């Protein structure tokens, strides 16, 4: 018998007479009032992370992306991307091939106002995780009605069985002298388009 077996046997003995009925724990004490304008707060907080944030109408999306990336840019789109942006649809390119693209344009599952965070669950329009990590620029589109107040609201809205990527600004790190370097573990530039209802 190993030490692990001894520990697990002791736990089983201790729980043998325990009541298996789940206990409801009140968590209302953690609730805070939602911000008066979650979308405006998200825009402010995301900009604090050095993301380029624009509120726009759906009809303006293609022009905004084209103006930001330039006419010669190679743009990658995930399967199921719902907006008419010019680019190549991902066909399972390797990491080396993804590195040849200037930008990727995706949607998001939701955005969190209090933290300025985007959350992708890699459904249609969001693509696989590598798409959002390898190209140097990431454009992420989130509808205004997808902005939730805080992290508990986001966790409640997300499917825990799906993979998730939480993005707060462009990829960055600091060395021991606090010199900030962007683009080390992901895109150097993050553009967020908050799409207002028509």
How confident is the model at residue 183, as a pLDDT?
65
Confidence of residue 11 (pLDDT cuts 50, 70, 90): very high
Percent of the chain predicted with pLDDT > 70: 97
Residue 193: name the closest of 92, 88, 81 by CA: 81
Render pLDDT for 94-126 as a digit per residue (tens, 0 to 9). 999 999 999 999 999 999 999 999 999 999 999
* Homologous superfamily, domain 35-196: NagB/RpiA/CoA transferase-like (3.40.50.10420)
Average pLDDT, the chain: 90
How confident is the model at residue 178, as a pLDDT?
75
Question: 155: part of which helix (H) or strand (E)?
Answer: helix 151-157
Domain positions in the chain are: 35-196
CA-to-CA distance for 69 and 77, rounded, in angstroms? Answer: 14
Residue 172 has pLDDT above 80, yes or no: no
CA-to-CA distance for 192 and 47, rounded, in angstroms? Answer: 9
Residue 94 structure tokens = 């390797």
């Amino acid at each position: 018998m190993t030490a692990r077996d001894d520990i697990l046997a002791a736990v089983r003995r201790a729980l043998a007479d325990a009541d298996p009925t789940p206990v409801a724990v009140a968590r209302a004490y953690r609730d805070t009032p939602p911000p008066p304008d979650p979308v405006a707060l998200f825009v402010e907080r995301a900009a604090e992370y050095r993301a380029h944030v624009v509120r726009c109408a759906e009809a303006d999306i293609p022009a905004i992306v084209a103006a930001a990336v330039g006419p010669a840019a190679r743009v990658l789109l995930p399967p199921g991307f719902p907006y008419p942006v010019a680019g190549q649809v991902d066909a399972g390119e390797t990491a080396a091939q993804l590195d040849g693209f200037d930008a990727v344009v995706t949607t998001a599952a939701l955005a969190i106002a209090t933290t300025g965070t985007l959350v992708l669950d890699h459904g249609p329009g969001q693509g696989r995780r590598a798409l959002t990590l390898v190209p140097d620029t990431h454009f992420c589109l989130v509808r205004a009605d997808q902005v939730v107040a805080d992290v508990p609201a986001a966790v409640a809205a997300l499917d825990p069985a799906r993979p998730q990527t939480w993005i707060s600004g462009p990829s960055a790190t600091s060395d021991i002298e606090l010199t900030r370097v962007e683009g080390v573990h992901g895109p150097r530039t993050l553009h967020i388009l908050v799409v207002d209802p028509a």
